[in-house]
Amino acid sequence: MDVINQGGRVVQIAPNRIGVIDTGHGSGWEQLVVFEYNPETKEFEVVSSLTYEDYFNHPKEYGIPVRTDN
């Protein structure tokens, strides 16, 4: 995977599913790209991608609970 050579990290999500954290070096934006292993072709195929920067900057808009200090 070329993304790994450009500073991305691989995260195991499930037995046949991995996520590659793209730091934006190659694509221009930070995202998580999810791949699933296809045993018939013996290759990983893209399942989805998530541009996560907006989730971290505006978590309430996506229903993500945030800690509030009182």
Of 8 and 63, the structure prediction assigns the larger pLDDT to 63
Residue 37 has pLDDT above 90, yes or no: yes
Q: Under a CB-based contact definition with an 8 Å cutoff, are residues 46 and 33 in contact? A: yes
Three-state SS string over the chain comes to CHHHHCCCEEEEEECCEEEEEECCCCCCCCEEEEEEEECCCCEEEEEEEECCHHHHHCHHHHCCCCCCCC
pTM: 0.64
Q: Per this entry, what is the length of the chain?
A: 70
Q: Which pLDDT score is estimated for 17?
A: 94
Vertex 3, ends 13 and 49: CA angle to 5°?
50
Band (pLDDT 50/70/90 cuts) for residue 8 is low
Rounded mean pLDDT of the chain? 82
Does 25 have pLDDT greater than 60? yes
